[in-house]
Amino acid sequence: MSILEVSSFAHGEWIAPGAGARNIANAITGEVMASAGNDALDVQAMLDYARNTGGPALRKMTFHDRARMLKALALHLREHRQAMYDLSFNTGATQSDHMIDIDGGIGTMLVFASKGRREMPDSHVYLDGEIEQLSRNGTFLGQHICTPLQGVAIHINAFNFPVWGMLEKLAPTLLAGVSAIVKPATASCYVTELCVRLMIDSGILPAGAVQLVTGGLGDMLDRLTCQDAVAFTGSADTALKLRSNPLILGNSVRFTSEADSLNCSILGPDAQPGTPEFDLFVKEVSREMTTKAGQKCTAIRRIIAPENTVQAVIEALSGRLAKTVIGDPRLETTRMGALVSNGQKRDVLEKAALIGQEAERVFGNPEDFAVEGADAEKGAFVPPMLYHCADPDTATRVHDTEAFGPVSTIMGYRDLDHAVALANRGQGSLVASCITHDPHVAREVAIGAGAFHGRIYFNNRDSMKESTSHGSPLPHMVHGGPGRAGGGEELGGIRGVKHYMQRTAIQGSPDILSAIGEKWVPGGTEVQGPAHPFTRKFGELSIGETLHTDPRTVTMEDIEHFAHFTGDTFYAHMDDAAAKRNPFFPGRVAHGYLLLSFAAGLFVEPNEGPVLANTGLDGLRFMKPVSAGDSIKVRLTVKKKTPRNEEYGEVRWHVTLTNQEDELVAEYELLTMNAF
């Protein structure tokens, strides 16, 4: 059998394995199938290429440009996913496992592409938070902005998800405008290499945006600066070693760690045998024990159940695990494949033996189990193993030792406080789950265990049909956890993008802030347009372009007609004496929505034109009541423009209503879609 050479992609070139190359065994057969690594890589040239070529090219693009790039990459990978499936079987992963790793990674990239277009500006500067007024008259203001780091992101990934592990870090990094050097774990790096080849060959990425190291990083981490970042996934011990690098500490290099942890699942006291929640709990635990052969950083390692249900859980879970067919992952009948390597198999069995010092194995015998279509001795196969810890309060190994495979330990709790205390014994976890139909139980778990967990997943009969699973990190939500779990976070939507950006406080006049953020700031210069702004196309409008309307007097007849026409006969509009007893009103006042309607009548251009639709109204505030006899006028200003497609873009208008004394009556932002 020919040996696959797994290359690195450095400073624009594919470099084959060389000095220091390591052999990689097939997880199913145990035979050497590939080699990877080259100690002669010029790591400084890689860093320079990322900083001087990839980074500047990405920073020239807007957030929307980069989001479109991510979408194109994801769609390209989707077209070629079968090739990744076929190669990934060699890692011991089943077809279902591929759906999590490969399809999940592509899906994560698509989510970030979508969020980039919807939640970030078509600009180079991200505005973080609202304007802060730092002076009495508003001539000196503050605003937080985020801009891309001008270095490189080093991504060090674990072996269990060679595609998702890379793409879930790469998507927010590229969206932020930062180039990346990806270092996958050697055991499964051949799948990562194929994914990177597909991305590079697509021509979608600018030169230098992504590089790949299949093997060791050499002294790359010793060459980082304050503009660089390191994102690591793996063991807590390795995370500590990397984080302690003197150069990383001395240069305050950003270091994000997502480490494996003793995740748990709590069966609520209400979820007794016979309830939908009990059955759901058993299904969830079984799935988390066997998916990816238990090689998930989010897998359930500790099963926490009411003492009176422990035996029932053991019986139900054992029955379900007994139906798990172990074998060659290419077989359609296989439900659990192999661990990634025989080295990993030895590690899992050693850790299981440690757990066995405090707990009794009640299911699964690594010395006697069936494997279909493969040799159990040559391949990295182990059976699901369930342990029961009768005294979790005095035990230590079950709370600090993780067998990174299909191994989990069940323990009983006396009451909910005890369950939470056991959950927190993990000293920081990526995820805990609680299966309960009782909202009060969920609240107590959230309050008691939240400080020790990055995510808490609740599920029951109401959400079970649409929920994901305990072990599925989603790109919308934070993935990380305190303490043993690494103390960092990944994903989390746009929050994850900010990890690769610098948050800076800028201070200055409204015009200065408007120019920096490409978003008009109240108090900034108003631009006089050549015609009514509603007659001008998206591309013709200028930020700050303003329309001032003539005033309109509000009459008592207007107020009464609006009240009877709409049915809104609230006393403040109809009963003068009652309104005067209200400390907010001088007497009968106009409806707020009447004022909005009049405002629209004052600024709208009625004829057909480039304004296609009114799509929303944000931040409405009423500052001062309007009585019969008062007049209102409107100022309409182009605040922000965001292209949406080739035909139209979104215009955000700043709208203020003032009375005859020029006092602010109401303020809001109007959203319209305007044709190009």
Instruction: List residues with catalytic annotation.
Output: 258, 297
Per-residue burial over 609-623, b = 16 or more CB atoms within 10 Å of its CB, e = otherwise: ebbeeeeeeeeeebe
Pairing of the two strands 488-491 and 385-389? unpaired
**Contact 359/387 with Cβ under 8 angstroms?**
yes
Compute the Cα dihedral for 521, 523, 527, 531 and give only its sign.
positive
Torsion of CA 360, 361, 362, 367, to 10 degrees: -150
**Contact 154/224 with Cβ under 8 angstroms?**
yes
Within 461-604, strands assigned E span 478-481, 488-491, 501-508, 546-548, 552-553
Tabulate helix, strand, coil % of the chain (nearest 5).
35, 25, 40
Angle between helices 416-424 and 439-449 (to 10 degrees): 40
Rounded Cα gap, residues 459 and 302, in angstroms? 17
Where helices occur in 380-509 by DSSP H, the ranges are 397-400, 416-424, 439-449, 494-498
Give a three-class secondary structure readout of 370-409. Answer: CCECCCCCCCCCCCCEEEEECCCCCCCHHHHCCCCCCEEE
Rounded Cα gap, residues 430 and 451, in angstroms? 11
Query: In sequence order, which residues have a C-beta less than 8 Å from that of residue 368 and are 6 or more positions away?
Result: none
Rounded Cα gap, residues 141 and 139, in angstroms? 6
Cross-strand partners of 670: 617, 653
Q: Of the candidates 398, 401, 308, which has an alpha carbon nearest to the alpha carbon of residue 351?
A: 401
Structure tokens at 339: 């661990």
Type of residue at 615: T
Rounded Cα gap, residues 231 and 10, in angstroms? 19
Helix (H, G, I), strand (E, B) or coil at 330: coil
DSSP 291: G
DSSP 529: P
Other C-beta atoms within 10 Å of 566: how many? 12
Q: Quickly tell me which residue has 């070629």 as its tokens.
A: 80
Vertex 426, ends 422 and 431: CA angle to 5°?
95
Where helices occur in 218-273 by DSSP H, the ranges are 236-243, 246-250
Compute the Cα dihedral for 236, 238, 243, 246 and give only its sign.
positive
Rounded Cα gap, residues 157 and 162, in angstroms? 8
Rounded Cα gap, residues 8 and 211, in angstroms? 8
